[in-house]
């Protein structure tokens, strides 16, 4: 008999919460306009800067990652503007839908799901659409487990256009290299419930000086997501509207944990977990969605087979207290996705692979028990 309150959450968000972060969030409530809360907001914004790779303010919004995406659109473009959106999966498609909703003339650069956008593809696209005002990209495409080469894509964007470069980093910032200033990214956003090890409810936005000039002259109506209001309030060590104070307590502790480990070590841990997961999956004979070159350190997507029916496998894993995600849109029922970000370490990957082996055996799929675990262990042992 399994303990129902002891399970392994391995979706690509939400992700597990460290006990020390849970404890921090249980602190007694304080006034959101108090000096204590102001200190948390001001210091957290500064401490987030190295994670984004920027010297700019990191704005803190109470909302989901999608609220940050919408703020990046509503503050920078106007109805009728030409924009380009790199679509490598469901979340690139969400960026396209957002820009369409705000009346933009959207040029989609559609890349087959499971592949990353190459600099050459973006260059060709932008030369066909030289008048775009903004280029929207997804760093980690959560729906496929693909990591786009954002540094190279941002360089192409700056070489080919004067457009703003806007990056959705929701499912990877805090786990992968991000050098917003050095790479020439104008807006980068993320959410709390992924690599930053918090519950959903906070979103983070960093904005370049070039983008602020556009924002200040943009007439698109917005209120709660007006980034200028957040910038002005941060200058007063507060937020324009009531923040999620308990999540701010948790954010303080998350930043303590990241700083104690060191960002380089955080990045290395995520890369190791990706390599372990992929080695284990390959050893079990299951096809991976992304190539090694395109794979994300935060989520691994796996195809089902004639022998492996994805939803049956997910249900079996769930009964064994391991939760993984399914596919989205046309990949629903065809793939499953293993999250390995945030409060996750190599030993957790071994447990997931071991449970996956038993689940496959339970479903009468011909697998050799221990083969996947051994492959993952061999990767870990090389470190």
Report the binding-site residues for substrate: 337
Residues 187, 196, 314: CA angle, nearest 5 degrees: 110
CA angle 218, 91, 208 (to 5 degrees): 35
Q: Report the binding-site residues.
A: 337
What's the rounded Cα separation, in Å, for the pair 60 and 231?
A: 10
φ/ψ of 24, rounded to 5, equals -60, -40
Answer yes or no: are the C-beta atoms of 84 and 107 closer than 8 Å: yes
Alpha carbons 54 and 235: distance in angstroms, whole number: 17
Return d(Cα 129, Cα 121) in angstroms, integer: 13
Query: How many angstroms from the chain centroid is the CA of residue 303?
Result: 21
Distance (Å, rounded) from C-alpha 333 to C-alpha 373?
25
DSSP H or E run through 322: strand 322-326
Strand order in the sheet with 322-326: 8-10, 322-326, 335-339, 299-303
């Amino acid at each position: 008999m399994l303990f129902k309150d002891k399970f392994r959450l391995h979706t690509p968000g939400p992700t597990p919460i460290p006990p020390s972060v849970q404890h921090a969030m249980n602190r007694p409530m304080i006034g959101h306009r108090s000096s204590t809360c102001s200190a948390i907001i001001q210091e957290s914004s500064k401490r987030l800067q190295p994670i984004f790779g920027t010297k700019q303010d990191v704005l803190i919004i109470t909302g989901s990652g999608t609220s940050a995406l919408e703020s990046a659109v509503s503050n920078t473009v106007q109805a009728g503007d030409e924009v380009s959106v790199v679509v490598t999966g469901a979340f690139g498609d969400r960026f396209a839908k957002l820009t369409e909703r705000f009346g933009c003339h959207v040029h989609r650069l559609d890349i087959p799901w499971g592949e990353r956008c190459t600099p050459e593809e973006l260059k060709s696209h932008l030369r066909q659409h030289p008048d775009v005002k903004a280029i929207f990209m997804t760093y980690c495409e959560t729906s496929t487990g693909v990591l786009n080469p954002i540094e190279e894509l941002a360089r192409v964007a700056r070489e080919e256009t004067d457009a703003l470069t806007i990056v959705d980093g929701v499912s990877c910032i805090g786990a992968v290299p991000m050098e917003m200033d050095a790479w020439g990214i104008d807006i980068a956003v993320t959410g709390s419930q992924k690599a930053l090890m918090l519950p959903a409810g906070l979103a983070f936005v960093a904005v370049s000086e070039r983008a602020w000039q556009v924002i200040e002259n943009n007439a698109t109506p917005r209120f709660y997501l007006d980034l200028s209001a957040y910038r002005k309030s941060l200058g007063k060590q507060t937020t324009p509207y009531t923040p999620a104070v308990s999540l701010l307590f948790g954010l303080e502790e998350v930043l303590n944990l990241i700083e104690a480990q060191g960002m380089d070590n955080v990045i290395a841990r995520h890369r190791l977990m990706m390599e372990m997961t992929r080695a284990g999956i390959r050893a079990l004979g299951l096809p991976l969605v992304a190539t090694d070159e395109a794979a994300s350190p935060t989520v691994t997507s796996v195809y089902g087979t004639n022998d492996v029916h994805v939803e049956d496998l997910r249900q079996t894993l769930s009964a064994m207290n391991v939760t993984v995600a399914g596919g989205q849109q046309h990949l629903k029922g065809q793939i499953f996705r293993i999250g390995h970000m945030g409060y996750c370490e190599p030993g957790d990957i071994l447990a997931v692979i071991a449970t996956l082996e038993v689940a496959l055996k339970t479903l009468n799929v011909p697998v050799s028990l221990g083969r996947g675990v051994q492959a993952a262990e061999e990767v870990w042992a090389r470190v």
